[in-house]
A and B are shown apart, each in its own frame.
Chain A
Amino acid sequence: MSDHRGSFYARDRDWHPPAYTPDYKTSVLRAPKQALLSLDNTISEMTGPVFGHDMLGPRDDDLITNWSKTGDAIGQRIVVHGRVLDENGRGLPGVLLEVWQANAGGRYRHHKETYHAALDPNFGGCGRCITAADGSYRFRTVKPGAYPWPNRVNDWRPAHIHFSVFGHAFAQRLVTQMYFEGDPMIWQCPIVGTIPDKRGVEQLIAALDRRNTTHMDALAYEFDIVLRGRRATLFENRMEGT
């Protein structure tokens, strides 16, 4: 069997958004202009911190109740679940997922937020979980609302959940967003539009999962996340010891 311990497959920069995307205006002054320094992974990128399940509290993965003051958060109750895989299709255990989102009305609990929609006194908007041995994860939340944002005059974000993902190595570090099947707002969003390939966008759209709804409780969406895979080291001399 192959030993997937080699360096990570080169990141396909044509699959990711480029840095400079003028329709997303903030990128104009924040996009590096010089060529990136490309190099094969060193041990500094092939290692990364480990997060143990023991750091999680019982409600970390339940955004409906983890900031409750008087009751559950308002909104369409959903379970988001899926697997974190690498590009070789292997489930990755021990991956820390941190999520954050607007409430059901599209409002974030944040000092910079200017949208008129109401805050929900029972919704904070953050959650986290760690993948199981097969790479699976789940959390419960409310479906976030769409909201307008200051970019072009009439730009709206589609409903989305932000994900911060820690794989097994710093080379796999990824921050992305999840969208919802059937949302017409996806295709007019300049942030979604930074992704060059329509298939890349589709990779970020969670599928409505009718089989895994929770009876009289929550709809389910399935969302798999793929992190960089590693080369096999069958024919390599490794400079490390055994």
Chain B
Amino acid sequence: MVQRRDDLKESPSQTAGPYVHIGTNPNWVEITGVWQGDLGLVLVGPDTKGERVLIKGRIFDGLGKPLNDALVEIWQADADGLYNSPEERRGRADPNFVGWGRQPTDRDTGEFRFETIKPGRVPYGDGRPMAPHITVYIVARGINIGLHTRLYFGDEAAANAECPVLNRIEHPGRRQTLVAPRGEEAGLPAYTFDVHLQGHHETVFFDV
């Protein structure tokens, strides 16, 4: 026998289900007026520093059908690579940029869209810089535990090539599932981040 440890266990995850938006985006599902506006729709204000970019994409199931009932959250550093969080000790983040956003996927097209800024680089645990990236979290009906992944930027080839996290992915072809190609829309750089839950192009998801 040894001393007993009374560690607690993390509460088990359960699916967010088909009605997640009642709780997270009530105004979007016509439950209006309980609170003003749904959280996380707007990331960027007039005083936010950094390059405005558009992030968009769809989430495909194993038969290639886009999910029209998912919820997507993003979390990112500011333009200087600082997180707006008490845990950030390297400096003060832009007070005009929270860095968190949340959008439902469109009922018809399955598309999600965020207008945000391109984040700066932040360090890996050993101090090497990671490539600019956005943390992406996805929940939906049929997803038993929320999926963590990352969006990297298609026009950051040099930084991506030396990113210690991207280089942890054993098969180089799979690294590309995290890299959003750059296009343009309404005068803004637009990065398309399509997520594949299964199949040949299955996105790399993180246990982190």
Contacts and interface: CB of A to CB of B under 8 A. Distances in A.
Interface string A1-17: 00000000011110111
Size band of the interface chain A makes with B:
35 or more
The 6 closest A-B pairs by CB, nearest first: A100-B23, A26-B142, A47-B85, A49-B100, A30-B142, A17-B144
Contacts of B9: 12, 15, 87, 199-200, 203, 226
A239 B99 CA distance: 23
A27 B142 contact: yes
Contacts of A194: 14-15, 144
Given A18-B144, A45-B148, A194-B144, 16 more contacts: A11-B10, A16-B10, A26-B142, A29-B61, A36-B205, A39-B168, A41-B208, A43-B123, A47-B88, A88-B7, A100-B23, A162-B19, A162-B20, A175-B139, A226-B11, A227-B10
Nearest to A102: B19
Interface stretch (A71-79, A107-115, A130-138, A212-220): A107-115
A33 B20 CA distance: 24
B144 A16 contact: yes
B146 A239 contact: no
B135 A45 contact: yes
Contact of B19 (A15, A112, A195): A112
A37 B22 CA distance: 31
A108 B143 contact: no
A203 B8 CA distance: 10
Interface string B143-155: 1111110100000
A137 to B, nearest CB: 14
A241 interface: yes
Interface string B24-63: 1010011101111000000000000000000000000111
A110 B61 contact: no
28 contacts: A13-B207, A17-B13, A17-B144, A18-B144, A24-B144, A31-B143, A32-B202, A37-B204, A37-B207, A43-B87, A50-B84, A57-B34, A67-B34, A87-B10, A108-B22, A109-B30, A125-B19, A125-B23, A128-B23, A164-B23, A164-B24, A173-B137, A174-B13, A176-B14, A195-B12, A226-B11, A229-B7, A241-B90
Given A17-B145, A176-B11, A67 B23 contact: no
A91 B130 CA distance: 33
A37 B23 contact: no
Most chain A CB inside 10 Å of its own CB: which residue of B11, B130, B148: B11
Contacts of A100: 19-20, 22-24
Nearest to B144: A17
B143 A30 contact: yes
A85 B122 contact: no
Given A44-B122, A124-B34, A204 B165 contact: no
B127 interface: yes
